[in-house]
Each structure stands twice: as structure tokens, then as C-alpha cells.
Chains A and B, each alone.
Chain A
Amino acid sequence: MLTANPQLNADKTLKHLLTTEGLPKKLIEQILETADQFVSVGDRDVKKVPLLRGKSVFNLFFENSTRTRTTFEIAAKRLSADVINLNINASSASKGESLLDTIDNLAAMNADMFVVRHAESGAAHLIAQHVKPGIAVINAGDGRHAHPTQGLLDMYTIRHYKKSFHNLSVAIVGDILHSRVARSGIHALTTLGCPDVRVIGPKTLIPTDVERMGVTVHHDMQRGLEGCDVVIMLRLQNERMSGSLLPSAHEYFKSYGLTADKLARAKPDAIVMHPGPMNRGVEIESGIADGMQSVILPQVTFGIAVRMAVMAMVTGN
């Protein structure tokens, strides 16, 4: 069973969305093109289309995330699905129910789709392999492993502003080691043919074998940003600050915070992205976050369209 890609149906259409790793280029492009059709739905009088009418989407958030959960909820509602939000931290899991028992119970309530956020890598895979045919699973972030819809919405944003991935230089800056956003982004970028993906961060926050993913490593941010078209900043998770990985927020900002000086090394029309939530003054200067080159808020808007596309595609297939 491990040989087949669990995300794909036999006819190579999308069954679940678990990771951008191994997702065929054609399918990624199809997701981005489908999202195009959904972008304008948010501007209409009636912000709804009937594709998922009568379907039940369960948002299972074993780990907190207001923004991701909200955008998935809006995406499902704009597709006319019924959305049930479960904050599992506060429910059965704390009473000792196992993950798959929770899933079985919800499936018995006739769920059509699970959107899963979990602190353990591989949770969404486990659920996808467990559910009956006809139930789709979308990974909304699992541990350090993957956050495919974030990776795809980043691709949508880059494509929107830069049109094509050929000849692009993309720099991803920050805590690469713990970042599922970075991993999903790198896989999608290399699949789409982006020739120059750079990761920038302190030695302690870059995985040792990261070059095998097809990226180059920089520890000097100024040099790493030289001539790049896209700068993806990652959130510095505060919980990492107390350990031995980093000196202090102030020190970090000096070396790896995105400032006007450092951004000047990138191309003049480079765009600045951030998956949110931002720590202003830690990984990004406030003026840059709000500046002309920032596309951080469009990322949020596009994220809804990309999630609608993924939900429509896994349901329709």
C-alpha cells in the first residue's frame, strides 16, 4: 500500500491533500487555475457557490490556529458546505479518546471531509488511510511535516505577482528546521520548476540535509537575499527563544529580521511574504510588513480561494 501516493485516485485526480511532496506538477497547476475561478467569488453580492451543498466538513483542530481554521471555514461556507468546528484540545482527546476513535465517531455522523491540524507529523496521513472511500482529508498542518494549503497559497501568490516560476529566485528566511510552511513551500517550488530556492537562517535552525531538497543554504542574510524576486519570511516561534537554539529576539532581529537595508539587496520589485501571525520587530520590521513590497494580506485573501479549490477538487473526484 505504501507504493501508491495516498493523495491520488487511480486516475491521478486529487483524493486527499496531505503534502505538496510528490504532488504532480500538473495537479498543482490545476489547483492554482481552479483557485483563479474562486478569487472573484469573494467580491460578489452573493459570496457563495453551490458545489459543496449538502456536504459536511469537519474542522478538526487538535492544535490551535485561529487564522487557518477561519480561512478553511470561510472556504467551505463559500462552497455552501455545512461546517462543524471541533476544538479537540477541549473535548474528547482530553478525556482520553484516541484519534481514530474520534474520527470513527465523526464519520458515523456522515462527515464528507476532515480538515485536520495536529501537532504530530503524519496525523493527517493516518486519518486518510483510516477513513472510508468517499471521505476526503485535508492536512491543515501536521507537526513539522507539512502545511500543503499554505504552500499552495504561497505558490498562488507568487504566480499572481511574478507570472511564472522559471528564472525566479526565492528566499525562505527563518526557522526552517521547525517549519512545515518552509517544507511545503520548497517542495511546491521545486516541482513547479523554480530554479533557485534559497534558505536563510542560523545554523541551529537549518536542517543538516536540507540541500537534498534542492535548495542552497545561506547563513548571511544580506548575501542570501542578493537579487532575489521573492522573500518568504517565517514566523519565529517564541517557544524556541528560551532554548539554546537562539540568543535573543533582539539578536535574532539584527541577523535575520527583514529590514529595509536587507531588503534592498533583493530585486527592487521583490515581493515580501509571511504566513502569519507576524512578530513585528522580531522577524520583520514593521515598515516592511506594511510596505509597498508586502503581499502579506493578499496572501490571506488568496488562501481562501486556494482552499476552496482544494475542497472542490477532492469532493468532485
Chain B
Amino acid sequence: MQLDAEPMIDLLAEKIGVLSLDTAIVGIHTGGVWVAERLHMLLGGDHPFGALAVTLHRDDFASIGLHPQKKSTEISFTVEGRHILLVDDVIHTGRSLRAALNELFDFGRPASVKLACLVDRGGRELPYHPDFVAMTMQLNADQELELTHDAATGDLRFDVKPKKV
């Protein structure tokens, strides 16, 4: 099954509305960065932009080891005292969000962090709640929602697939 993510991004931008000028937009690799890039354009203004890789703070390191991945955290603005809009494509257990917050705090103490997600798919295992969400849906634990670029149009879409074991 596929879901067009483009209208969700527009809706999410609408819900976020106007950000204060000093708010930075930070995406979580990989899907969250794509969404954050689009929001960065849609919301206008000259907001600082960053990306977080959560590999180094994952809580399943002891059981599954280090994920080989080429994505790195890129935060080139001052985090200390700044308002942050954190962006991810999907919120599920909340574990990658915890890792992302830890990674973010390694750069300083932000004034506030708000969370925007395209999809809240339920299944939370930690007490996190998005401030802005475009769509809520219930998926089984053995299903996975993957954000991809359509090869032909470049548009973003979700593929609903069985979870990789």
C-alpha cells in the first residue's frame, strides 16, 4: 500500500503556522530530514537548519550493534537557548526520538523543543507526544511505514510494508 505524503506535508506546514524567527528546524535522519527540508521551504523565513543522526544514542546498540550508515549529524548553529522545531516522518515507539533529543542536547541546552511528525502510527513505548501531526493511523507492530522519493516525480510517499526482521 502507498500513501501520498505531499498533501500531508502541506497540512503539517499549515498546522505549524508561523514560527518565531529564531526557531531552528531540525530533521531526524533519514525521512525526517526530507520532511524538514520541505517544511523549511514552505514555512519561509530564514530559519537555521540542521540534521540529527541518532545512531550514536540508540538504545538497542547492545543487542544489534552499530548500524553502518553514512548520515551524520549536522548542527552548524548555536543550540544553547534556541527554540527548536524537531521534525520526523513517523512517530512510533518514541525511542529514536529519545536518541535524537540526547544527540541534540550534546550541542547545548535549547530554550524549547517542539515535535512535528507527518504520521503518528501509535505503539508508543515512551512518554513522547508530537505537537504537530498531519495524520494519525493505527498499524500493527509487524508493519513498517517507509518514506521514499518517487523515482519518476521526486514526490515523497509512504510505503506500508512488512517489517524487516
Least Cβ–Cβ distance between A17 and chain B, in angstroms: 14
C-alpha gap A75/B66 in the complex (Å):
16
Q: Is A50 a contact partner of B65 (Cβ separation < 8 A)?
A: no
Residue of B nearest to A317 (CB): B65
Q: Is B72 a contact partner of A37 (Cβ separation < 8 A)?
A: yes
* Set B55, B64, B66, B106: member contacting A46, Cβ < 8 A: B106
Mask: chain B, 105-121; 1 = CB below 8 Å from A; 0 = not = 11110000000000000
Given contacts A45-B108, A49-B57, A50-B57, contact A33 B66 (CB under 8 A): no
The interface centre, meaning the residue of B66, B69, B70, B105 with most chain A CB atoms within 10 A of its CB, is: B66
Q: Is B70 a contact partner of A51 (Cβ separation < 8 A)?
A: no
Say if the beta carbon of B61 comes within 8 Å of chain A: yes
Mask: chain A, 19-61; 1 = CB below 8 Å from B; 0 = not = 0000000000010011011101100111011110000000000
Least Cβ–Cβ distance between A100 and chain B, in angstroms: 28
Least Cβ–Cβ distance between B118 and chain A, in angstroms: 26
Residue of A nearest to B105 (CB): A46
Question: Which residues in B have their C-beta under 8 angstroms from that of A40?
Answer: 72-73
Question: Which residues in A have their C-beta under 8 angstroms from that of B69?
Answer: 33, 37
Say if the beta carbon of A313 comes within 8 Å of chain B: yes
Question: Which residues in B have their C-beta under 8 angstroms from that of A313?
Answer: 65-66
Mask: chain B, 44-65; 1 = CB below 8 Å from A; 0 = not = 0000000001011100011011
Question: Which residues in B have their C-beta under 8 angstroms from that of A48?
Answer: 106
* Set B66, B72, B102, B106: member contacting A316, Cβ < 8 A: B66
Say if the beta carbon of A13 comes within 8 Å of chain B: yes
Majority secondary structure of chain A interface residues (helix, strand, loop or mixed) = helix
Q: Is B61 a contact partner of A316 (Cβ separation < 8 A)?
A: yes
Say if the beta carbon of A312 comes within 8 Å of chain B: yes
Number of interface residues of A (CB under 8 A): 21
Given contacts A36-B70, A37-B72, contact A13 B57 (CB under 8 A): no
Q: Is A316 a contact partner of B55 (Cβ separation < 8 A)?
A: no
Say if the beta carbon of B17 comes within 8 Å of chain A: no
Q: Is A34 a contact partner of B72 (Cβ separation < 8 A)?
A: no
Question: Which residues in A have their C-beta under 8 angstroms from that of B107?
Answer: 44-46
Q: Is A37 a contact partner of B55 (Cβ separation < 8 A)?
A: yes
Question: Which residues in B have their C-beta under 8 angstroms from that of A315?
Answer: 65
Question: Which residues in B have their C-beta under 8 angstroms from that of A37?
Answer: 53, 55-56, 69, 72-73
Q: Is B106 a contact partner of A34 (Cβ separation < 8 A)?
A: no
Say if the beta carbon of B154 comes within 8 Å of chain A: no
C-alpha gap A317/B105 in the complex (Å):
27
Mask: chain B, 84-113; 1 = CB below 8 Å from A; 0 = not = 000000000000000000100111100000
Least Cβ–Cβ distance between A79 and chain B, in angstroms: 9
Least Cβ–Cβ distance between B28 and chain A, in angstroms: 15
Say if the beta carbon of B127 comes within 8 Å of chain A: no
Question: Which residues in B have their C-beta under 8 angstroms from that of A36?
Answer: 70, 72
C-alpha gap A125/B105 in the complex (Å):
40
C-alpha gap A38/B106 in the complex (Å):
13
Q: Is A30 a contact partner of B65 (Cβ separation < 8 A)?
A: no
Least Cβ–Cβ distance between A45 and chain B, in angstroms: 5
Given contacts A44-B106, A49-B57, contact A30 B64 (CB under 8 A): no
Question: Which residues in B have their C-beta under 8 angstroms from that of A41?
Answer: 56, 106
C-alpha gap A44/B103 in the complex (Å):
10
Residue of B nearest to A51 (CB): B61
Residue of B nearest to A29 (CB): B68
C-alpha gap A34/B80 in the complex (Å):
27
* Set B57, B64, B66: member contacting A34, Cβ < 8 A: B66
Question: Which residues in B have their C-beta under 8 angstroms from that of A51?
Answer: 56, 61, 66
Least Cβ–Cβ distance between A316 and chain B, in angstroms: 3
Given contacts A312-B66, A316-B61, contact A49 B56 (CB under 8 A): yes
Residue of B nearest to A33 (CB): B70
Residue of B nearest to A44 (CB): B106
Q: Is A316 a contact partner of B64 (Cβ separation < 8 A)?
A: yes
C-alpha gap A75/B80 in the complex (Å):
26
C-alpha gap A33/B53 in the complex (Å):
13
5 further A-B pairs in the complex, CB-CB below 8 A; given A33-B69, A41-B106, A317-B65: A34-B68, A36-B70, A37-B72, A40-B73, A45-B106
Would you list the 8 A-B pairs with minimal beta carbon distance, nearest first? Answer: A316-B65, A49-B56, A46-B106, A316-B66, A30-B68, A44-B106, A317-B65, A312-B66
Residues in chain A within 8 A of chain B (CB atoms): 13, 30, 33-34, 36-38, 40-41, 44-46, 48-51, 312-313, 315-317
5 contacts between A and B (CB under 8 A): A46-B107, A49-B56, A50-B57, A312-B66, A317-B65
